[in-house]
A and B are shown apart, each in its own frame.
Chain A
Amino acid sequence: MKRFIKLYLAIIAALILFSGQVSHLTGAPAGAKAIPVIKVSVEDSSEATRVRISGGSNLDYNLKKSSESLVVTFRALSGLKLEKNAFTSQVIKSIDLAKSPEAYLLIIKTISPDFSYTSSARKNPFELNLNLKLKSGTAARETKPAETVPKNPPVKGKEVDRSVVNQAGEPASRVLDAGPFRKKDMKTIVIDPGHGGIEIGAKGNYGTLEKDVTLAVAKKLKERIEGELKYRVVMTRDSDVVVALDRRAAVANNNKADLFISIHANGSRRNNARGSETYFLSLNATDEESRRLAYFENNSGELENRLGEQDFDDLKLILWDMAQSAYLKQSSQLAEFVQGQLNQLLNTQNRGIKQAPFKVLTGVACPAILVEVAFITNPDEEKKLRSEEFQSQVAEALFGGLNEYFRLYEKP
């Protein structure tokens, strides 16, 4: 009898131990099931409002200011929990965690869009400190002109993000204006010569490199546009250097571009492939994304107008990653005009306008196209691409297309 009691006790003890372990393993971290927790605390001082975000493991994050929100994006996480203490702050209205398909967004809403911030971070254990400060005299909410809404680039690169941090809170015009002569309504065109540096692009049989042709055509287009004194031109590169693809989109957005045109020379395995093609973005959207995008297409209008709305919808933030999706209609129109001009002027075989999921276009927050001038892998067209005359003709055709587009969208 005594033996059994002992056995029972042993089994019960084992059970308790075991169940304790299970709850330990499922409840808290270890292995695949771990859900990281971030703790957020807020503290007001006379100088600034401090937000401290801490988490155990090393978290990868991006910072973006958007209207009256500051958004911390945590990427590539399977789960994230938010722990926050109740707080009262003169600057911060709320702090919430939202989820997009690829990331978790910590959305810090402030009482006014006119705030600046500084950030510092520490790895392992992760800690991110944000200091938010309202601009003097903006304690109350103001209606601000659309001009000051910073078009922050929807980019992932870290280097680029630094520049965003530096500019955030500054009035966009002060940082970004090219010179004193820029008229307020002057259109800005960003020209993106494809490839550069060690990224040579496609290569022709005679050794012509795509990166050289694209830069030559881009420079000619820049000259042509500036000759008319109507538009401001910004180049994503004006020498033979590597420029990351998301950096190119960032240049457009930082300069509040009205148009983005990426110039390329085509390549194919087929030597006889020929002609020019104009592309605009196609979305490789998952079901969830396409639903969201459909929402934006149906509620169309300019993206910045939407961002200026008072009841700022968290969903809209997610779209910075795919800013171009709001401009697909205009982009296809622009592509039509440019392709039409190319066909007319160059008498190249019409390959029509096309859609493709091009990396360089996804983050651009204005109408954007990618032009494949001709096939560098076709010996005849390669010869043409090398000639200055052909390059000038192409520039002329592109310019004609842009003008047609602006005429259509110009308000009387």
Chain B
Amino acid sequence: MKKNKSKNKKLRILLVLLVILAVLVMVFLFGSRKEKIKHESHSAGADQVAGKKAEITMKQVTLFFLSDNDGLLHPEEREIPESDINSEARAVVEELIRGPQTGLMAVIPGNTRLRQLFVTTDGLAYVDLSRQVTEANFYGSSGEMAVVYSIVDSLAYNFKSIKKVSLLIEGNERETLGGHVDLSNPFLPDYSLIAR
């Protein structure tokens, strides 16, 4: 009997030790915050699939395209499937590339591909575009500004959690699109290019 009691006690201590060990392992494995960004961007696709299986609710967003009349950006409404921020932001940029449905003008070269888009927890959206975006022959200051700010303003306007936008080309930082606008720093939205 006495032996049994002490055996139980020891088992309990052993159990407590194991739990502590388990907690330590968990903390160690999941503690690193920086890694999180990667996980989020990977799970984006999975979330979307899950969303589609259940029920697709649509969400209205505002896109900014160029007007041939005044050279300013004008709004155009669009419906996109409601999802997580990465997928929604992705849909916005893809719609911008696809171009306007009303009388406005497309800004981004039509053969450009959106390679990757993810939003960090502190509100910086990385938009990674294919190299075709740099291969336009209309890249004077105005042409470049229109491309950059149609993306930056459309994202910042629709998503409160996006504070800044960084443009990447083929996964890399690039100095400019065509020799003018500096891409090396993230952009804050500039709504002065939008018609009032």
Contacts and interface: CB of A to CB of B under 8 A. Distances in A.
A36 to B, nearest CB: 16
Which DSSP category, helix, strand, loop or mixed, fits chain A's interface? mixed
Contacts of B51: none
Interface in A229-275: 245, 264-270, 272-273
Nearest to A322: B185
Interface in A139-169: none
Contacts of B175: 245, 359
A18 interface: yes
Contacts of B21: 14-15, 18
A162 B145 CA distance: 33
Given A15-B21, A268-B138, A377-B140, A7 B14 contact: yes
Nearest to B20: A15
B107 A269 contact: yes
B182 A269 contact: no
Contact of B143 (A15, A202, A272, A370): A202
Which DSSP category, helix, strand, loop or mixed, fits chain B's interface? loop
Interface in B124-179: 137-143, 145-146, 164, 175-176, 178-179
A270 B67 CA distance: 8
Given A284-B188, A358-B181, A359-B182, A202 B35 contact: no
B134 to A, nearest CB: 11
6 contacts: A7-B14, A22-B24, A202-B178, A210-B140, A284-B185, A372-B141
Instruction: Across the A-B interface, give the 7 residue pairs with the lowest CB-CB distance, nearest first.
Output: A267-B140, A266-B140, A359-B182, A203-B137, A202-B140, A267-B138, A268-B142
Given A265-B140, A370-B141, A375-B142, 5 more contacts: A18-B24, A264-B141, A268-B71, A269-B106, A357-B182
Interface of B: 7, 10, 14, 17, 21, 24, 28, 32, 34-35, 66, 68, 71, 105-107, 137-143, 145-146, 164, 175-176, 178-188, 190
